[in-house]
């Protein structure tokens, strides 16, 4: 969950990265490596390595005689897990959560359909276990336990899809679900129909019914979108 803070260079990154993604340095701002090195009290070598990493994320662009220029948002590698973490920790957390939820709503149904085709017996078992865990924690304010199984369920679906790109969205989904529980209106127990949908998805996958798994997951996704009021014009 938390970032690796190994190395002096990482500490600089964990300070400068969030500052940039938070918009503290508006696009077009120019920084100088020497000045940054002095500010963070590190050598130029360390600072240069940090800048190189930021450059590989397309957050900044380093050019001779100019300096380190902050790039506009459209250039950023918004799929970089570190960038996602930094943005979720920053000011436009809400915007980011909405954006990621839309992505989820697109990907997860298709992933569920693929899972129904490709899931192994072990993966089906895990899926069922997660769904049952959700049911068991769906009443009596056991939100923490519920969340754990919810995250595991969606991770399992993405992994069982057999698609590498989908599987790698597991962390993103986990982040969104956690953020939803923590920040959103999740004082109450989850809606029984929503829980039931998860159980049915597990069933559909186990039976190899791709169309049903996809449709049911689309229902779940719709619920997530509605929670954030993403649909009204």
Partner DNA sequence: CGTGAACAATAAGTCAGACTTTTATGTCAC
Partner DNA sequence: GTGACATAAAAGTCTGACTTATTGTTCACG
Site residues (vs a second copy, CB under 8 A): 9, 45, 48-49, 52-53, 56-57, 73-74, 77-82, 99-100, 102-103, 105-107, 109-111, 114, 117, 163-168, 233
**Residues in contact with DNA, shown as a per-residue x/- string from 32 to 51 under the rule CB under 7 A:** xxx------xxxxxx-xx-x
In the complex, minimum distance from the CB of residue 37 to DNA, in angstroms, rounded to a whole number: 8
Q: Compute the 3-state secondary structure of the chain and give helix, strand, coil in percent, each to the nearest 5.
A: 70, 5, 30
| The only residue of 3, 24, 56, 66 in contact with DNA, by rule CB under 7 A | 66
| The only residue of 4, 64, 231, 232 in contact with DNA, by rule CB under 7 A | 64
**CA–CA dist 152, 231 (Å, integer):** 27
In the complex, minimum distance from the CB of residue 95 to a second copy, in angstroms, rounded to a whole number: 8
What's the farthest any 2 CA atoms get from each other in the chain?
63
Edge-to-edge strand order for the sheet containing 30-31? 30-31, 67-70, 60-63
Using the rule CB under 7 A, is 20 a contact of DNA?
no
Torsion of CA 126, 134, 222, 87, to 10 degrees: -80
| The only residue of 1, 26, 28, 63 in contact with DNA, by rule CB under 7 A | 63
Contact 107, 68 (CB under 8 A): no
Using the rule CB under 7 A, is 70 a contact of DNA?
no
Coil, helix or strand at residue 25: coil
The entry of a second copy, DNA, none that residue 102 binds, CB within 5 to 8 Å by partner kind: a second copy
In the complex, minimum distance from the CB of residue 224 to DNA, in angstroms, rounded to a whole number: 39
In 3D space, the residue among 158, 86, 55, 161 whose CA is nearest the CA of residue 118 turns out to be: 161
Q: CA distances (Å), 189 to each of 135, 185, 223, in order?
A: 11, 10, 15
The entry of DNA, a second copy, none that residue 144 binds, CB within 5 to 8 Å by partner kind: none
Residue ranges in contact with DNA by CB under 7 A: 6-9, 31-34, 41-46, 48-49, 51, 62-68
């Amino acid at each position: 969950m938390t970032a690796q803070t190994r190395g002096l260079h990482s500490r600089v990154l964990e300070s400068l990265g969030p500052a940039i993604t938070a918009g503290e340095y508006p696009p077009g701002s120019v920084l100088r490596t020497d000045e940054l090195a002095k500010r963070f009290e590190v050598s130029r070598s360390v600072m240069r390595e940090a800048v190189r990493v930021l450059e590989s994320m397309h957050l900044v662009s380093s050019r001779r005689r100019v300096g380190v220029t902050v790039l506009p948002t459209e250039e950023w590698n918004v799929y970089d897990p570190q960038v996602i973490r930094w943005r979720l920790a920053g000011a436009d957390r809400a915007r980011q959560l909405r954006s990621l939820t839309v992505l989820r709503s697109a990907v997860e149904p298709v992933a569920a359909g693929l899972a129904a085709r490709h899931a192994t017996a072990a993966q089906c078992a895990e899926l069922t276990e997660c769904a049952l865990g959700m049911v068991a924690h769906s009443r009596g304010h056991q939100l923490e336990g519920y969340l754990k199984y919810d995250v595991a369920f969606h991770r399992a679906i993405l992994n069982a899809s057999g698609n590498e790109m989908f599987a790698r969205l597991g962390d993103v989904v986990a982040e969104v679900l956690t953020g939803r529980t923590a920040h959103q209106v999740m004082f109450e127990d989850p809606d029984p129909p929503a829980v039931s949908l998860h159980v049915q998805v597990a069933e559909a996958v186990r039976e190899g019914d791709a169309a049903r798994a996809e449709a049911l997951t689309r229902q779940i996704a719709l619920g997530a979108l509605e929670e954030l009021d993403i649909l009204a014009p």
